[in-house]
Amino acid sequence: MTQLIAKSYHDMRPLVDMLGDRLLFIAAVIVALLGAAVIGMQLIDMFMIDPAGFNRI
């Protein structure tokens, strides 16, 4: 029984590695987008740009 459990964990390891890499990539993209949003908000405050003018897009 112990060998069966060990084999099951060993067989699942590549799946866990693949999902972990994908989740890490998604988390990195989300962090980058949030960081860019914060930088954009800081630039708007720094240059005193009126955000109401952005509705022309």
Query: What's the pTM value of the predicted model, to 2 decimals?
Result: 0.62
* Amino acid in position 22: R
| pLDDT tens for each residue of 10-45 | 777 787 778 888 999 999 999 999 999 999 999 988
* Amino acid in position 2: T
What is the reported pLDDT for 33?
98
